[in-house]
Chain A
Amino acid sequence: MIYEEKPDQGILLDGIGLTYGKGASERQVLQNVSLKLEPGEFVAVLGPSGCGKTSLLNILAGYLRPTRGTVTINGKRHTRPDPGVGVVFQQANLFPWLSLARNIEFGMRMQSISKARRRERVAYFLELMGLETSAKLLPHQLSGGMKQRAAIARTLATDPEIVLLDEPFSALDALTRENMQLHLREIWHKTGKCMFFITHDVDEALLLSSRLIVMHPDPGRVVEDFANPLTEGAADPSFARIRSSADYSRLREHLLARMDGVNTLI
């Protein structure tokens, strides 16, 4: 994955601020958040509840308008939802009246992509997600893990610049979750998409991300932003190898402490 360096390539958050209320009841949800997300990065965002990470995701998606600051994607202002920014929700949020294949096809239908091309891409993503045999089923006939896989496929099928994931595996049981984590990393490697992954699970963040961001509340801001040393260098380290590395537990303790607001040195 080699990308040409272009100054306006990637996703740029510039001085994002979000304020609710006026006067005495004013609450600063986000204060001066500036980030540059590069293509191909897997960014994990950690933070205690109320730190504004979901608000930040909503602003990136275009669901919420920031009080201050701008979001720019490849040099273009991004102010409302569009297929350039894909979103995977905590609940799979599939359309219950559409079959799995039709759910995956939906975004492409909205973009008036030709039928032949749609069929080809649906088949590709069904295979990528291991859902070939379930293509004709309705969402209520699927397990939680399958639904979430279909939701990821549906988002990728529109070929977004960045995929936002809002604690996508938090509603799944432990075994399914580990499967999904492996699967997501494989997909990330195959597609090279920029992933913006919100989680409160430190282990999940350490295993998956190429870059770690920690946020603090009151007001919501970024307090840590560094490349994940555990996944750096090695092409595709196994989860077991990451977990057993000497740095793992030290980094884990550090992140937990930082989420609590205690400052320790790496």
Chain B
Amino acid sequence: MQSNTQAQAAVPLKNGEDRLAPAAARRGAGGKISKEWLYRGISAASLLAVLLLWWCAATFGWVNPLFLPKPQTVWSAFMDVIRDGYKGQTLLNHIGTSMRRLFLALAAAFATAVPLGILCGRFRVLRAIVDPFIEFYRPLPPLAYYTLLILWFGITDVSKVLLLFLGAFAPLFITAVFSVQRLSPDRINGARSLGAKGWKLYAFIIFPSVLPELLTGLRTAVGVSYATLVAAEMVAAVSGIGWLVLDASKFLRSDIMYLGIIIMALIAIAIDLVIRSLIRRVSPWTEQ
């Protein structure tokens, strides 16, 4: 009987304690969001100002139009390329070719670097075996070994995908190794005491624990491989968005060059936004 009254007495206190945290969090978030919009507005205004400056510079002839075509010229180049394509292929084809290379390489890198990195983070011996090779090729500029890849596989998609794969592999591998090493022993021990062992420990505890950091690593990897992709397409290719810009430069079509570069930037921003929203979705607890 006595235990019953004690338990009931505990209830209202529990509820009071529970309500506090979310309310405080909401207030904090509200102030942050309105500030956030203010800064976005400033960014938009700054962008518009530079566009205006561009328009003035081109329209009033402050700069030779070969170096800086008018915004309208770039826009009409865009409409032309959309309608007629560029050198036998549609614009979407060029972009699609580049994206296929990029995402094939990223998927392959994620699927191999992450498991290997996680295992190397858990087993020092394995890491000792793999480390020298990673450390050897990681600081190399990818274009340096691209020559070897072309020698082996020719000017094909295979050599390009391999190049991007190698570029993305190192940052993902290193992120996986270090985030596994940083895992708290309590996390692993607690899971083992609940019966997680063998592959289940990896699939249900270790992988989800490091996933937020892996996605941050993926952001880095995308940066590296995107830069490499454009460079590789400029060195040796007959299609793709990087090749489009290089080819246009050979004919002094600066409008197409500007167009290609703007498209490249927009694609990079879009990819980054997708990854960031992915990070937010898989790890809501790391916000704030």
Contacts of B100 in A (CB 8 A): none
The reply to whether B21 and A179 form a contact with Cβ atoms under 8 Å apart is no
The reply to whether A87 and B190 form a contact with Cβ atoms under 8 Å apart is yes
Instruction: Select A106's contact among B186, B187, B194, beta carbons within 8 Å.
Output: B194
Chain B 189-226 interface residues, beta-carbon cutoff 8 Å to A: 189-197, 200, 204-205, 208-209, 211
Given contacts A93-B187, A140-B285, A186-B6, contact A158 B14 (CB under 8 A): no
Interface string of B5-18 (1 = CB under 8 A from A): 01100110110011
The reply to whether A139 and B18 form a contact with Cβ atoms under 8 Å apart is no
Q: Is A82 interfacial (CB 8 A cutoff)?
A: yes
The reply to whether B208 and A176 form a contact with Cβ atoms under 8 Å apart is no
Q: Is B132 interfacial (CB 8 A cutoff)?
A: no
Give CA–CA (A129, B126) in the complex, Å: 44
Closest CB of chain A to B179's CB: distance in Å? 14
What secondary structure prevails in chain B residues at the interface with A?
Answer: helix
Q: Is B2 interfacial (CB 8 A cutoff)?
A: yes
Q: Is B283 interfacial (CB 8 A cutoff)?
A: yes
The reply to whether B283 and A110 form a contact with Cβ atoms under 8 Å apart is no
Interface string of A62-82 (1 = CB under 8 A from B): 110000000000000000111
Q: Is B3 interfacial (CB 8 A cutoff)?
A: yes
Q: Is A29 interfacial (CB 8 A cutoff)?
A: no
Closest CB of chain B to A219's CB: distance in Å? 24
Contacts of B33 in A (CB 8 A): none
Closest CB of chain B to A235's CB: distance in Å? 8
Q: Is A206 interfacial (CB 8 A cutoff)?
A: no
Q: How many residues of B contact A (CB 8 A)?
A: 36
Give CA–CA (A182, B9) in the complex, Å: 10
Given contacts A87-B193, A106-B194, contact A93 B186 (CB under 8 A): yes
Q: Is B141 interfacial (CB 8 A cutoff)?
A: no
Closest CB of chain B to A14's CB: distance in Å? 22
Given contacts A110-B204, A142-B21, A143-B18, contact A179 B13 (CB under 8 A): yes
The reply to whether B17 and A145 form a contact with Cβ atoms under 8 Å apart is yes
The reply to whether A176 and B17 form a contact with Cβ atoms under 8 Å apart is yes
Give CA–CA (A61, B7) in the complex, Å: 30
Interface string of A85-128 (1 = CB under 8 A from B): 11101010101110000000011011100000000000000000
The reply to whether B189 and A97 form a contact with Cβ atoms under 8 Å apart is no
Give CA–CA (A89, B193) in the complex, Å: 11
Q: Is B269 interfacial (CB 8 A cutoff)?
A: no
The reply to whether A93 and B18 form a contact with Cβ atoms under 8 Å apart is no
Given contacts A87-B189, A139-B285, A145-B17, contact A110 B195 (CB under 8 A): yes
Q: Is B22 interfacial (CB 8 A cutoff)?
A: yes
Q: Is A193 interfacial (CB 8 A cutoff)?
A: no
Give CA–CA (A36, B41) in the complex, Å: 69
Given contacts A143-B20, A146-B18, A238-B6, contact A111 B195 (CB under 8 A): yes
The reply to whether B3 and A134 form a contact with Cβ atoms under 8 Å apart is no
Instruction: Select A97's contact among B14, B194, B282, beta carbons within 8 Å.
Output: B282
Instruction: Select A81's contact among B13, B20, B189, beta carbons within 8 Å.
Output: B189
Q: Is B88 interfacial (CB 8 A cutoff)?
A: no
Closest CB of chain B to A142's CB: distance in Å? 7
The reply to whether B193 and A182 form a contact with Cβ atoms under 8 Å apart is no
Nearest opposing residue in chain A for B187, CB measure: A93
Chain B 23-58 interface residues, beta-carbon cutoff 8 Å to A: none
Q: Is A27 interfacial (CB 8 A cutoff)?
A: no
Q: Is A53 interfacial (CB 8 A cutoff)?
A: no
Q: Is A189 interfacial (CB 8 A cutoff)?
A: yes
Q: Is A258 interfacial (CB 8 A cutoff)?
A: no
List the 3 shortest-distance A-B pairs measured between CB atoms, nearest first: A107-B194, A110-B195, A140-B285
Given A106-B194, A182-B7, 19 new contacts (CB under 8 A):
A81-B189, A86-B193, A87-B190, A91-B186, A93-B190, A96-B283, A106-B191, A110-B204, A134-B18, A138-B284, A141-B21, A143-B18, A145-B14, A146-B17, A155-B194, A175-B13, A179-B14, A182-B6, A239-B6
- 18 of the cross-chain contacts (CB-CB < 8 Å) are A62-B192, A80-B192, A82-B192, A83-B193, A95-B205, A95-B209, A106-B196, A110-B204, A138-B285, A143-B17, A143-B18, A143-B21, A175-B13, A179-B10, A179-B13, A183-B7, A183-B10, A237-B2
A interface residues with partner B (beta carbon < 8 Å)? 61-63, 80-83, 85-87, 89, 91, 93, 95-97, 106-107, 109-111, 130, 134, 138-143, 145-146, 154-155, 158, 175-176, 179, 182-183, 185-186, 189, 236-239
